[in-house]
A = this chain, B = another copy of it.
Amino acid sequence: MPIVPDGAVLADHAVVVTDGRIIDVLPASVARSIYQPSVTIDRPGHVLLPGLINTHTHAAMVLLRGLADDLPLESWLKDTVWPAERRWVSAEMVRDGTELAIAEMLTAGITCFADQYFFPEIVAETAIDLHMRAVIGTPVADFPSAWAQDAREYLSKATDLVHDTYSGHPLIKTCFAPHSTYALSDESFVEIRVLADQLDIPVQIHLHETAAEVADAVKNTGKRPLQRLAELGLVNASLLVIHGVHVNTDEIALLADAGVSIAHCPKSNMKLASGFAPLAAYRAAGINVGIGTDGAASNNTLDILDEIRTATLLAKAVAGDASVLMASDALRMATLDAAKAIGIADQVGSIETGKLADLTCIDLDRCNSQPVYDPISQVVYTARADQVSDVWVAGRHQLERGHLKNIDTDSLRLKSNEWQQRINASQLPK
């Protein structure tokens, strides 16, 4: 399933890879007569896809997974997640959490994630250590954290430790990740715009996630968040809007005109009762949409197959039309459209000659995916993460027949268990 051309399924085909890059896609029988590969991998009954892309997450938050479920958003954030973060976020926590998250994502067929969290330089280092592709969003906020005290420090650390360091890196791209309009002053946004232009890197932001966020902004600033951002010059083709749940018709038109992309995180929006993003309307307006899991504290899995299934089913129900989103659209939102949303579609997102060999292989020869009338439909509506058999990142074989080749998951689980003991103990006195 090369994604380009749209909806294509090439039976009995081969993908030829050299030095981490795809050099040919052709019928397997022809490939056998032309090429003498050093390694040949056969996967009958499987499908091969471009590696899945997680358009939005906070990877290290896996260590807070399940700490505060079934709470209203206010209480979830203010009574549990933020206190836990203030108490526990550190370089060590971010490294351990990001490792666990990368193990989970690779196992689920994800070859690239767009992250935003504190200690982004540690997220980048960890991704490189584990040979995972990542878009590292450097956080910016006016409030202090273990990483920085104010917007100025967030931005200077971001530039010194991340944007300059990883410019041109084969696995890492960087962007600015101001948390939200309620977390930053106009001055901070102006500074971000100037830096983003200078460094030529994109910006991503949580925007219009909840009705309360929009209402509070109107009350406090007289403007809806998107309007304020537009007036500050940040609404353009290098902006990624995360969530975009509560938007009106004019705002959809503005986003479409500006060429903004959306990171759609339906499970997080459902779990926190934020609402239903108008996915069908976004697509009808020609807006590019990638799929993200959000962090594991509000999902609670980093599983893009599960997320596209939910996104598709939900879009049909919200639109009241079972035909609004096809299975092939869902697959595209998890691959090529996701790559566009995070600015790396020239490198990954489809199986085409010249692109990087980020590849995911899925076993459809399971009872729960049989029979196979339409392979794309079976991937979107039936395939679970455990059916992901193999994953390659830039040609490196990371998952082989369901086993991570280069990551010791036993030690990750031990570390996770240690964090659980520590964090649980700290919750006791409340």
Which of A's residues lie within 8 Å of B, judged by CB? 62-63, 65-67, 69-73, 76, 100, 103-104, 107-108, 267, 269-276, 299-303, 306, 310, 313-314, 316-317, 319-327, 365, 367-368, 370-374, 377-378, 381-382, 384-386, 409, 412-413, 416-417, 419-420, 423-424
Q: Are B270 and A420 in contact (CB under 8 A)?
A: no
Query: Which chain B positions have C-beta within 8 A of A423?
Result: 371, 373
Query: Which chain B positions have C-beta within 8 A of A71?
Result: 322-323
Q: Are B368 and A108 in contact (CB under 8 A)?
A: yes
Q: Are A368 and B317 in contact (CB under 8 A)?
A: no
Q: Are B368 and A104 in contact (CB under 8 A)?
A: yes
Q: Are B301 and A70 in contact (CB under 8 A)?
A: no
Q: Are B381 and A327 in contact (CB under 8 A)?
A: no
Which of B300, B367, B374 has a CB less than 8 Å from the CB of A409? B367
Q: Name 6 interchain pairs, CB-CB below 8 A, sorted by A.
A: A65-B382, A100-B367, A271-B316, A272-B322, A273-B319, A301-B368
Query: Which chain B positions have C-beta within 8 A of A65?
Result: 370-371, 373, 378, 382
Smallest Cβ-Cβ distance to A328: which chain B residue:
B70
Smallest Cβ-Cβ distance to A419: which chain B residue:
B371
Q: Are A267 and B313 in contact (CB under 8 A)?
A: yes
Query: Which chain B positions have C-beta within 8 A of A270?
Result: 313-314, 316-317
Q: Are B417 and A322 in contact (CB under 8 A)?
A: no
Q: Are B371 and A66 in contact (CB under 8 A)?
A: yes
Q: Are A69 and B301 in contact (CB under 8 A)?
A: no
Smallest Cβ-Cβ distance to A316: which chain B residue:
B273
Bound state CA distance, A370 and B203, in angstroms? 31
Bound state CA distance, A167 and B189, in angstroms? 72
Q: Are B72 and A321 in contact (CB under 8 A)?
A: yes
Best-buried of A71, A306, A322 by chain B (most CB within 10 Å): A322
Q: Are A367 and B322 in contact (CB under 8 A)?
A: no
Which 6 residue pairs are nearest across A and B when measured between Cβ atoms? A371-B420, A386-B386, A270-B313, A270-B317, A300-B381, A273-B322
Smallest Cβ-Cβ distance to A68: which chain B residue:
B373
Q: Are A367 and B267 in contact (CB under 8 A)?
A: no
Q: Are B368 and A303 in contact (CB under 8 A)?
A: yes
Bound state CA distance, A313 and B163, in angstroms? 37
Query: Which chain B positions have C-beta within 8 A of A368?
Result: 104, 107-108, 301-303, 385
Query: Which chain B positions have C-beta within 8 A of A378?
Result: 65-66, 300
Query: Which chain B positions have C-beta within 8 A of A377?
Result: 66, 69-70, 300
Q: Are A372 and B66 in contact (CB under 8 A)?
A: yes
Q: Are A323 and B381 in contact (CB under 8 A)?
A: no
Bound state CA distance, A100 and B372, in angstroms? 14
Tell me the smallest distance from the CB of A358 to a CB of chain B, in Å: 20
Query: Which chain B positions have C-beta within 8 A of A316?
Result: 270-273
Which of B63, B104, B317 has a CB less than 8 Å from the CB of A273? B317
Bound state CA distance, A381 and B62, in angstroms? 13
Query: Which chain B positions have C-beta within 8 A of A371?
Result: 63, 65-66, 416-417, 419-420, 423
Query: Which chain B positions have C-beta within 8 A of A70?
Result: 322-323, 325-327, 377
Q: Are A412 and B367 in contact (CB under 8 A)?
A: yes
Bound state CA distance, A417 and B370, in angstroms? 8
Query: Which chain B positions have C-beta within 8 A of A272?
Result: 316, 322
Query: Which chain B positions have C-beta within 8 A of A323?
Result: 70-72
Q: Are B381 and A321 in contact (CB under 8 A)?
A: no
Q: Are B413 and A322 in contact (CB under 8 A)?
A: no
Known A-B contacts A104-B368, A416-B370; the reply to A276 vs B317 at CB < 8 A is yes
Query: Which chain B positions have C-beta within 8 A of A63?
Result: 371
Bound state CA distance, A103 and B370, in angstroms? 11
Smallest Cβ-Cβ distance to A76: which chain B residue:
B322
> Given contacts A72-B323, A272-B322, could you give 6 more A-B pairs where the C-beta distance is less than 8 Å?
A66-B377, A70-B327, A73-B322, A271-B322, A275-B317, A302-B368
